[in-house]
Amino acid sequence: MSFFGKMFGGKKVEAPTTGEAIQKLRETENMLIKKQEFLESKITQEIDIAKKNGTKNKRAAIQALKRKKRYEKQLQQIDGTLSTIEMQREALESANTNTAVLTSMKNAADALKSAHKELDVDKVHDMMDDIAEQQDVAREISDAISNPVAFGQDIDDEELERELEELEQEELDKELLGVGEPSTSLPDVPTDEVKEKARPTPAKRTVEKPVEDDADMKELLAWAE
């Protein structure tokens, strides 16, 4: 039988959880730290006693130094124990963390497995095909709605552009020739009576009279008689 079996009467001892073990180690650490503080204070006291009795009572001073040595040895043992406990605690904490991580991962794997059991791969593919088909139908409907009505779709855009160019050229020619668009409105008829304008009277012609007072003419007339 093992030593621990003899200590606990041969009964099977249930192993504590990592959390419980970590808690026990922390409690032990706190106890040992308090023990360290106590020993350090005792060492200080023994040093003071040795100093006081160094010249007066040599035997008392030596006894104090012996006690100081024992306290220092206990302090070294506690330091080693604390180091061991600290390593155990860190190992347990790491194991506890790993256990928590692995537990979470296992739970996630179980949940994923359970979810996959409820899904059939063939059904999933069929569903995705249906979704794609419905999306295509929706796209065709949207395209049909967004396109303009078929009325007038047989008109050639190039023909319209040529006609527009001809109209623009015709308008440009009119501007160059200074010919405006013919007026479609008739002038207003005047309501007042049109007064006949007086015709101008022709100018009287003046007939030149023969010159009777001419001396030569008189002389000729006289010779003719």
**Model confidence pLDDT, tens digit, residues 5-45:** 555 555 666 788 888 888 999 999 999 999 999 999 999 99
pLDDT of residue 191: 54
Show me where the domains of the chain are located.
13-113
- Burial grade of 74 (CB within 10 A; 0-12, 13-18, 19 or more): middle
Q: In 10 A of CB 82, how many CB atoms?
A: 16
Q: What distances in angstroms separate CA 18 from CA 29, 30, 31, 45, 91, one per listed residue?
A: 16, 18, 20, 41, 10
pLDDT of residue 194: 46
Fold classification of 13-113 is Helix Hairpins (1.10.287)
Kindly tell me if the per-residue pLDDT of 105 is higher than 70. yes
Looking at per-residue pLDDT, the higher value among 149 and 87 belongs to: 87
Mean pLDDT score, 41-54: 92
Quick check: 29 and 82 in contact, CB under 8 A?
yes
- Kindly report which listed range (25-39, 73-87, 95-109, 147-161) carries the lowest average pLDDT score: 147-161
Beta-carbon-side half-sphere exposure of residue 204 (alpha carbons within 13 Å): 3
